[in-house]
Amino acid sequence: MTRAAAIEAATDYLDQGGFAADLARRVAIPTESQNPDRAADLGRYVDSEMRAALEPLGFTCTVHPNPAANGGPFLVAVRREPGAVKTVFSYGHGDVIRGQDAQWRSGIGPWALVQEGEKLYGRGTADNKGQHTVNIAALAAVLKARGGRLGFNVVLLIETGEEVGSPGLDAFCKTQREAWGANLFLASDGPRLSPERPTLYCGSRGAMNFDLSVDLRSGAHHSGNWGGLLADPGIILAHAIASIAGPTGQIRIPEWVPKELPAGVRRALADCTVGGGEDGPAVDAWWGEPGLSPAERVYGWCSFDVLAFRTGNPEAPVNAIPGRATAHCQIRFVVGVDSDQFLPALRRHLDRHGFPQVEVTLARAAYFRATRLDPDHPYVHFALGSVEKTLGMKPALLPNLGGSLPNDVFADTLGLPTVWVPHSYAACSQHAPNEHVLLPVMRQGLAMMAGLFWDLGEADDSIAA
């Protein structure tokens, strides 16, 4: 009944093949939430696969319908122990993006787990099946080492709609907050700062997607007959976008960026070096907000990107001036800016710069909001100390993830201090063909989560304050 025994049991699970066997079964369920034809697979993942994994560990599992129309189901697994004063809330999502089957390289595909060296390939290995598989196994290891006890209660929520914006999650959690009675949030998603450095983060940047369009006329007209006479919507839209961000990516709309980088955020990021490992792209040091380090730009500031731009027929261009141009854009934003003012501020900016014909449309009604737990929160220090004790190295602490998650539901709706411990890395190809995880990172993840769960079982009541 020792901490070391729990960590050993967790790493043995990977070394002896249990992790790969469980993950292979989960990857094989094609839980594409963007594909309406996969609704039955979403249900199968939570009602069969997750239930079968959790009930033997003493969890009571209930599958709940989604209050949002066409939203995937939720699994709530609850494990309570007599006398336990802390309740840890954890989370994962069983849905994945579309498999993109034809785009994977030869020898691998989205729905079969394949190991090549230290990489495990398959859709959902990184996002998020592999990560919640690690955490469930770590809980099992602590239960084994502690003779059937954890020392705290657990509420685990598995949703099946994160990849489509988590519809219904906030409404569902509002109805369950009092029943769950949680004190702490601890879960895993997203990448580490770099493959070799364990990482914790305290929230996430928000994300808002919107469309810009210039619709001047119906149909296209011959460029020889009409060139110089008809306004080109592609040129107008290109200039409008250029007014939003400068040639090095600096945002030019004041309402879209914070007034300053908080001192606590700057301190937390002082020793953080962004890197995706040997498979990741090189950072463009000249891009983005001037005067900030790469870590400050992605974890402490806002960014604007054009994700898609279309005018005419790019696949088969013809000599005709198109009548319409569109761009799909995104803002990633941090705490300290008012996201409700993004689009009104953009409208004012475009009008002020002579682009009244550019239409602005929110891409979808729901979007992820920015969250950030104070890096000096006692629970953050507790988790940092536990991970360092297990691995013998100082983990990176990010005030928030550069990407976006429904963390606002857990931080704001449930009112929990939120700490995330990711088990992936930035070059894992999530949301792309050839998605994979690194076995050494997953092994470290199993060790540090087993250590963290063990330490939570021994902590006094003050951590729940």
What six digits make up the tokens of 422?
A: 């990711």
Long-range contacts of residues 245-251, Cβ cutoff 8 Å, at least 24 apart? 245/304, 248/286, 248/287, 248/288, 248/290, 249/287, 249/288, 249/289, 249/303, 249/304, 250/288, 250/289, 250/290, 251/289, 251/302, 251/303, 251/304
Portion of the chain with pLDDT greater than 70, in percent: 98
Contacts of 92 (CB under 8 A, 6+ apart): 128, 129, 131, 132, 135, 156, 157, 158, 159, 187, 188, 189
Identify the helix (H) or strand (E) that includes residue 112: none
Give SS3 for 36.
Answer: helix
Q: Is the peptide bond before 128 cis (omega within 30 degrees of 0)?
A: yes
pLDDT at residue 463 above 70?
A: no
Instruction: Give me the residue label for tokens 């697994």.
Output: 77
pLDDT at 419: 97
Instruction: Give me the residue label for tokens 């049991």.
Output: 9
The dihedrals phi and psi of 197, each to the nearest 5 degrees, come to -120, 120
Rounded distance, CA 304 to CA 249, Å? 8
> pLDDT band at 365, cuts 50/70/90?
low
The partner residues of 158 in beta bridges, in order of sequence, read 75, 92
Rounded distance, CA 443 to CA 424, Å? 11
Q: How far is CA 10 from CA 2, 136, 172, in A?
A: 13, 10, 32
Instruction: Please calculate the CA angle 84-173-463 and round it to the nearest 5 degrees.
Output: 35
Q: What is the mean pLDDT of the chain?
A: 95
Contacts of 461 (CB under 8 A, 6+ apart): 85, 86
Rounded distance, CA 422 to CA 428, Å? 12
Least confident of 140-149, 166-175, 217-226, 366-375: 366-375
Q: Give helix then strand counts, H and E, for the chain.
A: 14, 19
pLDDT digits (tens, 9 = 90+) for 2-61: 999 999 999 999 999 999 999 999 999 999 999 999 999 999 999 999 999 999 999 999
What six digits make up the tokens of 320?
A: 């005709």
pLDDT digits (tens, 9 = 90+) for 261-309: 999 899 999 999 887 677 778 899 999 999 999 999 999 999 999 999 9
* Amino acid found at 368: F
Rounded distance, CA 298 to CA 402, Å? 5
DSSP 8-state class, residue 402: S
Rounded distance, CA 454 to CA 464, Å? 16
Give SS3 for 215.
Answer: strand
Average pLDDT value for residue range 353-373: 90
Q: How far is CA 359 from CA 221, 248, 313, in A?
A: 22, 25, 20
pLDDT at 465: 47
Side-by-side strand order, sheet with 206-215: 303-311, 324-333, 206-215, 358-362
pLDDT at 274: 86
Portion of the chain with pLDDT greater than 90, in percent: 92
Give the pTM: 0.90
pLDDT at residue 386 above 80?
A: yes
Length of the chain: 465
Rounded distance, CA 48 to CA 18, Å? 18
Contact 107, 114 (CB under 8 A): yes
The dihedrals phi and psi of 229, each to the nearest 5 degrees, come to -110, -30
Which residue, 463, 232, 417, 387, is CA-closest to 325?
232
pLDDT at 280: 75
Least confident of 2-11, 201-210, 248-257, 456-465: 456-465
> pLDDT band at 461, cuts 50/70/90?
low
Contacts of 147 (CB under 8 A, 6+ apart): 1
